[in-house]
Structure 1
Amino acid sequence: MKVVVIGGTGLIGSKLVTKLGEHGHEAVSAAPNTGVNTLTGEGLAEALDGAAVVVDVSNSPSFADDAVMEFFRTSTTNLLEYSAKAGVGHYVALSVVGTDRLSESGYFRAKIEQEKLIRDSGRPYSIVHATQFFEFVRGIADLSTVDGKVHLPPVLFQPMASDDVAAGVGRVAVGEPLNGIREIGGPEQFRLDELVRKALAAADDPREVVTDEQASYSGARISERTLLPGPDAQLGEITLRTWLAQRQ
């Protein structure tokens, strides 16, 4: 089966291409540095020729509100158009658990728009909602740093390793279209502030993590369970302890 992975040279995309190849699929990595640009359409027709599945795991280079909205709107519109012309039978996109509950955030408003475009396209599709990746925990700390201190709310959080994300997306990609959402998450729950505190300590990052119930997450106010997947989520296997050990 030919599967085109948009964003195939990134963190998740590169792992997904490898996993699909190991299972005997023809996995094509599509990204600007491989000659495929979803914003301009360059290389899309050629990459999608003969593909059974297209998987979009790309992300905006800028998280500024207008820029991220323009990225997902333009990229998704082009991908839907070109994949329809190529007769691609399954459109898969990676999104985020809690997206529909985070509309205060410009980034998540753009993800909501991306998902709406896919649902309204009439194409057979699957959307994978993943919890946040272990690899991005320090990025959360950076976005939440004020005057040198990391301010985070004490909400529940169920992050997962990127290897488990790629595996979860891969399983959906080679299956029948869901025409709906599949949630995937990590095997353990933490409090967000405690997890970031532990991750920064493991990385010898001296920043203090302040437990702040008024702090936002990516610009949105959240409740205790906003970032958690539902009871039917498929959970990964890699624990935080295992992931940290692999990084040493």
Structure 2
Amino acid sequence: MNYRRVFLSEAAVLWAATILLLGLMGCQEGARRGSQMRVADPLSGSTADLERGAEVGLVEQMAHHRSSYERTLEVLLQFYDQQGNHLKAGWVEEEMEHMNAGPQRQYLVVAEVAGPGLRAQRTIPEADILYEEGLDLKRRGQGVFGLLPDKKKLYLAIDKFNELITTYSDSDRIGQAAFEIGEIYRIHMKDWARALQYYERVRQWDPQTARPVSFTMARVYDDQLHNRIKAVHYYEEAISLDVPNESNINYAKRRIELINKELTGKIYD
């Protein structure tokens, strides 16, 4: 056996793995720095759109480097197995286990990647089918009276709605699909930030929606995030923009009055 050739091949593989790891670390550092630049409301303004584009690029780079690093570990494991080097093969397997066991965050959702520019324009039968499939999964996943939800089915429903948005981006269902995703995140996942991202997209993609988007956003800011100023803003929009609903309008008016009294009292205390 040509041991010098084997040694050089092993060194080349290790060097490639090291380069990929360094690239991944550098990309993650860039993503951390990028997150510090985000503004309070990541879905409004041209500056936010530019930052969103930068974030998408960084996350795509990170995913690429992570995937490349994983593939290189697999090649390295195969190399050591072929050489009969059980010690180093065990090291690689251990590293792969640690990598798979660690958290892998979903840094971006479809609502962010798609941006605010989509418009609900036309009826597309294939999109209607996806929408009904998503609704069926949502109904079966939410449990009886919201008790014991099947989160696996709920995530499958989210996938169906996201597939609709990405595949048929001018369908008249995109706003409805985004609203249903927002409802899943709000009611079942308690992920207020993700819910608000999708609700905001409903307002942008389908301004004539029949869904109570502004009122729902106001309730999230009011009840969960305790951001009274934003709550008042969306309560006011609910009164003027949402499809008229007497119960929602009366509630919004009461909350605006109470919050304004609360804020005024704090100013003068």
TM-score of the two chains, using structure 2 as the length reference: 0.26
Structure with the larger RCO, 1 or 2 (CA within 8 Å, 6+ apart): 1
Greater share of helix: 2
TM-score where L is the length of structure 1: 0.27
Judging by fraction of residues, say which structure has more strand.
1
For the pair shown, which has the larger CA radius of gyration, 1 or 2?
A: 2
